[in-house]
Amino acid sequence: MTALHALWMGLVLLGVLGVLQTQAQAPVSLQPNFQQDKFLGRWFTSGLASNSSWFREKKNVLSMCMSVVAPTADGGLNLTSTFLRKEQCETRTLLLRPAGAPGCYTYTSPHWGSTHDVWVAATNYDEYALLYTAGTRGLGQDFHMATLYSRTQTPSADIREKFSTFAKTRGFTEDAVVFLPQTDKCMEERK
């Protein structure tokens, strides 16, 4: 009986440790009761923070881009972003596949071929969304990014402050947080 009791207690402790380990690995909390249908539509990428060397080199020349989020047949999302690059509009589409709880997705980077996880950490659907992305790029370099999506090109000071606070809680420094300047170029929805 004592051996059975010890075995049972050992399994309970392993279960508790497993829960603690799972919670420690969750890099960001998700929007409670995330409603994917309300997240669809046009967004403007208004703010970014990243640990990427590319981002640090280019952050002063980046401008706001427009993204359209549309549903896929498998319950995922197509995220189509149009942005200005070398004075021309470029469009890229990422397929975000569901990865667990609502608001959690994964995608494969077309450039690196690596898998990235995306969490919708907070949104009110009508004004803003805060996203966090984590993965590995190139030769095992950890990649982290916080993104502010806004329904307009002029997010309020409160929303900008929410994003700044969110990025800092994710470990980004003040100089890694960038609010992207507006542009009229590449902001029309493509048919």
132 pairs with which residues across the strands?
119, 146
- Return the minimum-mean-pLDDT range out of 17-31, 78-92, 111-125, 169-183: 17-31
Count other C-beta atoms under 10 Å from residue 79's C-beta: 20
Report the C-alpha gap between 160 and 148 in whole angstroms: 8
**Residue 17 domain-assigned?**
no
| Tokens linked to 165 | 């606070």
Q: What is the pTM of this model?
A: 0.81
CATH number at residue 173: 2.40.128.20
**Residue 6 domain-assigned?**
no
Report the C-alpha gap between 8 and 14 in whole angstroms: 10
On average, the pLDDT of the chain sits at 81
Please pick, among 65, 89, 104, 186, the residue that the annotation labels catalytic. Answer: 65
**Residue 27 domain-assigned?**
no
Active-site residue 89, yes or no? no
Look up the domain containing 40 and give its range. Answer: 36-179
The three-point CA angle 175-62-69 to 5° equals 105
**Residue 50 domain-assigned?**
yes
Greatest mean pLDDT among 2-16, 44-58, 75-89, 162-176: 162-176
**Residue 119 domain-assigned?**
yes
How many structural domains does the chain have?
1
